[in-house]
Amino acid sequence: MRTIEVKTQAREELVDITARVREELVSSGVKDGICHVYVPHTTAAVTINENADPSVKEDILMALRKIVPDSLPYRHSEGNSPAHVKACLIGSSIKVIIDEGQLALGTWQGIFFCEFDGPRSRSVIIKASS
């Protein structure tokens, strides 16, 4: 198991961590299996989506803001309930098949850390298993 640190710069942000997951996979030495990427936070998430057009990240965040409005009568006293709900919707883990030492991602796919209550210093746990 390896942990990487992600420093986010904004309240909401999708950070492409594909290259960093690849680095961890290479140093794990696992050639065939599954690469698990897990976010141990309640107001952040991880997903796989397009990393070619950066507008896609903005569109995802815009749509999530529409689905999870800031204006609902939330009860959680910390004031960050929209971030908790968005983290639930996206999810705290993904897995990618490892084939011949490579992540079997599609041409346009990247792995994104999803910040919903930043900026903060965050952790992402990566485990490659054969």
CA distance 44 to 55: 20
Burial of 95 (0-12, 13-18, 19+ CB in 10 A): middle
Question: Coil, helix or strand for 75?
Answer: coil
Q: How far is the CB of 2 from Zn ion (least distance, A)?
A: 27
* C-beta closer to Zn ion: residue 35 or 85: 85
Structure tokens that stand for 4 in this block: 């990487």
Q: How far is the CB of 80 from Zn ion (least distance, A)?
A: 4
* C-beta closer to Zn ion: residue 1 or 72: 72
Beginning with the edge strand found earlier in the chain, give each strand of the sheet holding 33-38 in spatial order. 2-7, 121-129, 33-38, 93-99, 102-103
Q: How far is the CB of 123 from Zn ion (least distance, A)?
A: 17
- Interaction of residue 123 with Zn ion, rule CB under 5 A: no
Q: How far is the CB of 6 from Zn ion (least distance, A)?
A: 19
- Tell me the number of residues near Zn ion by CB under 5 A: 2
Of residues 62-91, those binding Zn ion (CB under 5 A): 78, 80
CA distance 69 to 63: 10
Q: Which residue is nearest to Zn ion (CB)?
A: 78
* C-beta closer to Zn ion: residue 109 or 123: 123
Of residues 91-120, those binding Zn ion (CB under 5 A): none
Q: Which residues bind Zn ion (CB under 5 A)?
A: 78, 80
